[in-house]
A and B are shown apart, each in its own frame.
Chain A
Amino acid sequence: MTKPLPQGISLGQFNAAIAEIEKVVGKQYVFLDDVTELRSYRDAYNTTNDADFAPSAAIAPKNVEQIQKILAIVNNYKIPIWTISTGKNFAYGGPAPRKAGYIVLDLKLMNRIIEVNEKHGYAIVEPGVSYYDLYNYLQSKGIKLWIDCAAPAWGGFVGNTSDHGAGYTPYGDHLLMQCGMQVVLADGTVVETGMDTTANSKSGALYKYGQGAAIDGLFTQSNFGVITRMGMWLMPEPPGYTPFMITLENERDLEIVTDLTLPLRLNQVIHNAPMTVDLLWESAMSVSKRQYYTGTGPMPDSNRKKMAKDLDLGVWNYYAAVYGPEPMMKNNMEIIRDTFSQVPGAKFHFDDTRKGDPGWDYRVKLMKGEPNMTEFSLLNWIGGGGHINFSPISAADGKDSMKQYEMIRKRAHEYDFDYIGEFLIGWRDQHHIFMLMFDRMNAEEKKRAHELFAVLVDDAAALGYGEYRTHLSFMDQIAGTYSWNDNALWDTHHALKDELDPNGILSPGKMGIWPKNLRGNS
Chain B
Amino acid sequence: MLSRRTFIKTALASNAALLTTPSQALQILFDNRQQQPLLVFADESALNARNFISGIENDGANLGLDIGRHFDLLATFCKDSPNGQIMGLTRDSDFFVLEQLAKDFGFYTSYSASHRYDGQTLTHQITAAEEPAKIITKSLTKAGEQWPAWLAKNLHALPQKHQQTITTKSQLNVANAEPHDFLVSWSLSTSKSI
A contact set with B: CB distance below 8 Å: 1, 28-29, 33, 35-37, 39-40, 44, 60, 87-88, 108, 132, 152-154, 285-286, 288, 290-291, 294, 358, 362, 371-374, 376-380, 382-385, 441
The answer to whether B114 touches A383, judged by C-beta atoms less than 8 angstroms apart, is yes
* Max chain A Cβ within 10 angstroms of own Cβ: one of B68, B91, B96: B68
Q: Which of A44, A291, A362, A380 contacts B91 (CB 8 A)?
A: A380
Q: Report A-chain residues with C-beta under 8 Å of the C-beta of B103.
A: 37, 40
Comparing B3-11, B18-26, B148-156, B161-169, the segment that makes contact with chain A is B161-169
The answer to whether B97 touches A373, judged by C-beta atoms less than 8 angstroms apart, is yes
Besides A108-B104, A153-B68, A379-B96, 12 more A-B contacts (Cβ < 8 Å) are A36-B162, A36-B192, A40-B99, A40-B100, A152-B68, A154-B101, A290-B117, A291-B181, A377-B65, A380-B182, A383-B116, A385-B93
The answer to whether A441 touches B96, judged by C-beta atoms less than 8 angstroms apart, is no
CB of B137 closer than 8 Å to a CB of A: no
Within 8 A of A (CB), among B88-107: 91-94, 96-97, 99-101, 103-104
Q: Report B-chain residues with C-beta under 8 Å of the C-beta of A37.
A: 103, 108, 191-192
CB of B194 closer than 8 Å to a CB of A: yes
Give the interface SS of chain A, mostly helix, strand, loop or mixed: loop
A35 touching B163 in the complex, CB below 8 Å, given contacts A154-B101, A383-B114: yes
Q: Report B-chain residues with C-beta under 8 Å of the C-beta of A294.
A: 118-119
The answer to whether A384 touches B92, judged by C-beta atoms less than 8 angstroms apart, is yes
Q: B83 to chain A: closest CB distance in Å?
A: 16
Q: Report A-chain residues with C-beta under 8 Å of the C-beta of B54.
A: none
Q: A345 to chain B: closest CB distance in Å?
A: 28
A154 touching B68 in the complex, CB below 8 Å, given contacts A36-B108, A40-B108, A376-B96: yes
The answer to whether A380 touches B92, judged by C-beta atoms less than 8 angstroms apart, is yes
Q: Report B-chain residues with C-beta under 8 Å of the C-beta of A378.
A: 93
Question: Nearest residue in B to A33 (C-beta to C-beta)?
Answer: B191
The answer to whether A383 touches B93, judged by C-beta atoms less than 8 angstroms apart, is no
The answer to whether A36 touches B191, judged by C-beta atoms less than 8 angstroms apart, is yes
A384 touching B162 in the complex, CB below 8 Å, given contacts A40-B99, A373-B97, A376-B97: no
Q: B168 to chain A: closest CB distance in Å?
A: 13
A373 touching B108 in the complex, CB below 8 Å, given contacts A290-B182, A384-B92: no
Q: A113 to chain B: closest CB distance in Å?
A: 17
User: In the bound complex, what is the Cα–Cα distance between A384 and B91 (angstroms)?
Assistant: 9
The answer to whether B99 touches A373, judged by C-beta atoms less than 8 angstroms apart, is no
Q: A354 to chain B: closest CB distance in Å?
A: 15
- 26 A-B pairs (CB sep. < 8 Å): A1-B164, A33-B162, A35-B162, A36-B108, A36-B109, A37-B192, A39-B108, A40-B99, A132-B71, A154-B101, A288-B182, A290-B117, A294-B118, A358-B65, A372-B68, A373-B66, A376-B94, A376-B96, A376-B97, A378-B93, A379-B92, A379-B96, A383-B181, A384-B92, A384-B116, A384-B182
Q: Which of A35, A88, A362 contacts B164 (CB 8 A)?
A: A35
Within 8 A of A (CB), among B57-107: 65-68, 71, 91-94, 96-97, 99-101, 103-104
User: In the bound complex, what is the Cα–Cα distance between A373 and B63 (angstroms)?
Assistant: 12
Q: Report B-chain residues with C-beta under 8 Å of the C-beta of A441.
A: 114, 125
User: In the bound complex, what is the Cα–Cα distance between A28 and B106 (angstroms)?
Assistant: 10
Q: Report A-chain residues with C-beta under 8 Å of the C-beta of B104.
A: 108
- For the complex of A and B, the 4 pairs showing the least CB-CB separation, nearest first, are A383-B182, A373-B68, A36-B108, A40-B103
Q: Report B-chain residues with C-beta under 8 Å of the C-beta of A377.
A: 65, 91, 93
Within 8 A of A (CB), among B126-149: none
Q: Report A-chain residues with C-beta under 8 Å of the C-beta of B116.
A: 383-384
Q: B187 to chain A: closest CB distance in Å?
A: 13
Q: Report B-chain residues with C-beta under 8 Å of the C-beta of A385.
A: 92-93
Within 8 A of A (CB), among B153-194: 162-165, 181-182, 184, 191-192, 194
* Max chain B Cβ within 10 angstroms of own Cβ: one of A39, A40, A286, A382: A40
Q: Report A-chain residues with C-beta under 8 Å of the C-beta of B94.
A: 376
Q: Report A-chain residues with C-beta under 8 Å of the C-beta of B162.
A: 33, 35-36
The answer to whether A362 touches B96, judged by C-beta atoms less than 8 angstroms apart, is no
Q: Report B-chain residues with C-beta under 8 Å of the C-beta of A362.
A: 66
A379 touching B93 in the complex, CB below 8 Å, given contacts A1-B164, A29-B194: yes
User: In the bound complex, what is the Cα–Cα distance between A217 and B65 (angstroms)?
Assistant: 36
Q: Report B-chain residues with C-beta under 8 Å of the C-beta of A380.
A: 91-93, 181-182
Q: Report A-chain residues with C-beta under 8 Å of the C-beta of B67.
A: 373, 376
Q: B165 to chain A: closest CB distance in Å?
A: 7
Q: Report B-chain residues with C-beta under 8 Å of the C-beta of A373.
A: 66-68, 97
User: In the bound complex, what is the Cα–Cα distance between A160 and B183 (angstroms)?
Assistant: 30
